[in-house]
Amino acid sequence: MQVFDIDRALELYNKGLSLGKVGEHFGVSQQTIKRRLQLMGITIRKQSGNQSGENNPAWKGGTSRAHINRTTKRVCIENGVPLNQCQNCGKVFPHNLNRHHKDEDRSNNKIENIEVLCVKCHNSGWFGAKHNRIRNALGRFE
């Protein structure tokens, strides 16, 4: 790891290294490099193919957790689904509950695919059964 030097960073970046790789070189985040270069008036390249999507180390199934949270929240609100009531047991909680994607595809944010579930129901056999998973004698999924 080298001491961060913006001129050196720019040099590496101009050689074709990705922001992530330049960051790695100095032990700082890709965002830091991006910000520093932009401050210098450098135009940031579009991420090359092998750094996007599934190849990116930050890939989380299409979208970030915070983004998923915001999206599912908005979908529930738009469809009049209470965020604090479990759709399985019907219990109302003083806080917002987990939104669960029925098909486990976090990019499928149709209301039909989102269930608001309390922790108990989310972790319960009911949830497991829905996914055709069978618990063995030890209570573990087969």
If the CB atoms of residues 36 and 100 are measured against Zn ion, the closer one turns out to be 100
If the CB atoms of residues 19 and 114 are measured against Zn ion, the closer one turns out to be 114
Stretch that binds Zn ion, among 18-26, 86-94, 98-106, 129-137 (CB under 5 A): 86-94
How far apart are CB 69 and Zn ion at their closest, in Å? 19
Q: How many CA atoms lie within 13 A of 126 on its CB side?
A: 10
With CB under 5 A as the contact rule, the residue among 40, 44, 77, 89 that binds Zn ion is 89
Q: How many CA atoms lie within 13 A of 95 on its CB side?
A: 4
How far apart are CB 120 and Zn ion at their closest, in Å? 5
* Degrees to nearest 5, angle at CA 41 with 35 and 44: 60
Provide, for the chain, the percentages of residues in helix, strand and coil under a 3-state DSSP scheme, each rounded to the nearest 5: 45, 10, 50
Q: Does the footprint of Zn ion cover residue 37 (CB under 5 A)?
A: no
Q: Does the footprint of Zn ion cover residue 121 (CB under 5 A)?
A: yes
The size of the interface with Zn ion (CB under 5 A), counted in residues, is 5
CA 3 – CA 37 distance, rounded (Å): 16
Q: Does the footprint of Zn ion cover residue 118 (CB under 5 A)?
A: yes
In DSSP terms, which residues pair with 99 in a beta bridge? 116
Site for Zn ion, rule CB under 5 A: 86, 88-89, 118, 121
